[in-house]
């Protein structure tokens, strides 16, 4: 009897998160055509899943930006991370959580979810979901916090807009949506001139983040704050719904 009750409760919990039947999403073209080398190819995870490397890619700012994002999250809570992240972002998010908290992570690439499961195999409060950030299968207001860490610059504008709107939709009123991403740096910042050819050749959608504000893709919300780092090359935008 007790087992039956536990199974029923587990089913109810899962169902409360979903608004559509579970279905594996199709891989978007921007991922398979532009970012196959970083996230889809079998060797991508082997190459990029190194803490020192992701820190180097962000010019030594990975830990700093990670910690600025995680400080915005209140615990205990149900937190959604939109897209997997190379490095220890999710491990730190789960570590800061407690037994009363839940950490949910979505990604459209199954290979990324497999890597996350392996990285976090000893984490008890982690739940992974094979979903597309532009069309999340969660009910409205399902999470206390949502965090989007360096995803938007990898998406074309229409996908980026949908991702931002979905992140807000699934966050409860009074909750926070935290975005960490690239930002247009100061003209006095020497990294501005280093990053232009890098982004043009490797991350062709990223320069959009220099031209527009994240608020341009947001639906009406209660409050928006923005802080920039490293001479304006990176930004944190916190949305209170």
Report how far residue 32's alpha carbon sits from residue 158's, in angstroms, rounded to the nearest whole number: 17
Q: Helix axis angle, 89-96 relative to 110-119, nearest 10°?
A: 50
Residues 6+ apart with CB under 8 A from 87: 49, 51, 54, 55, 62, 66
As to burial, measured by CB atoms within 10 angstroms (0-12 exposed, 13-18 middle, 19+ buried), residue 63 is: middle
> Which residue has tokens 């232009």?
196
Per-residue pLDDT of the chain (241 residues; tens, 9 = 90+): 333 333 333 333 443 455 654 578 999 999 999 999 999 999 999 999 999 999 999 999 999 999 999 999 988 899 999 999 999 999 999 999 878 899 999 999 999 999 999 999 999 899 999 999 999 999 999 999 999 999 999 999 999 999 999 999 999 999 999 999 999 999 999 999 999 999 999 999 999 999 999 999 999 888 999 999 999 999 999 999 9
Closest-CA residue to 27 (of 127, 100, 143, 111): 111
- Which domains can be identified in the chain, with CATH numbers? 2-240 (3.40.50.150)
pLDDT, residue 73, reads 94
Q: What pLDDT does 20 receive? A: 56
The angle that helices 89-96 and 62-70 make with each other, rounded to 10 degrees, is 30
Spatial distance between the Cα atoms of 23 and 51, rounded to a whole number of angstroms: 32
Q: Could you tell me the pTM of the whole model?
A: 0.90
Which of 148, 158, 146, 150 lies closest to 234 in space, CA to CA? 150
pLDDT of 210? 97
Q: Give me the pLDDT at residue 98, please.
A: 79
pLDDT of residue 233: 98
Give residues with Cβ within 8 angstroms of 132, minimum separation 6.
Answer: 25, 26, 28, 106, 108
Dihedral sign for Cα atoms in the order 90, 93, 99, 101 = negative
């Amino acid at each position: 009897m007790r087992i039956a009750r536990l199974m029923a409760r587990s089913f109810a919990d899962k169902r409360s998160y979903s608004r559509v039947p579970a279905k594996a999403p199709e891989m978007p073209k921007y991922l398979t055509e532009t970012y196959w080398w970083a996230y889809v190819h079998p060797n991508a995870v082997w190459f990029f899943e190194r803490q020192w490397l992701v820190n180097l890619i962000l010019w030594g700012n990975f830990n700093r930006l990670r910690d600025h994002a995680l400080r915005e999250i209140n615990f205990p809570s149900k937190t959604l991370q939109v897209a997997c992240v190379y490095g220890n972002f999710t491990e730190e998010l789960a570590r800061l959580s407690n037994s009363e908290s839940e950490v949910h992570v979505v990604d459209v690439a199954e290979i990324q979810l497999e890597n996350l499961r392996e990285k976090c195999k000893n984490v008890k409060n982690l739940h992974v979901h094979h979903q597309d950030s532009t069309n999340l299968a969660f009910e409205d207001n399902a999470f206390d916090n949502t965090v989007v860490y360096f995803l938007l610059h990898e998406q074309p504008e229409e996908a980026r807009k949908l991702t931002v709107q979905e992140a807000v939709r699934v966050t409860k009123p009074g909750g926070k949506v935290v975005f960490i991403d690239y930002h247009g740096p100061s003209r006095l910042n020497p990294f501005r001139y280093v990053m232009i050819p890098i982004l043009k050749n490797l991350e062709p959608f990223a320069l959009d983040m220099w031209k527009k504000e994240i608020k341009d893709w947001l639906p009406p919300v209660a409050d928006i704050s923005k802080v920039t780092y490293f001479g304006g090359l990176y930004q944190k935008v916190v949305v209170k719904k």
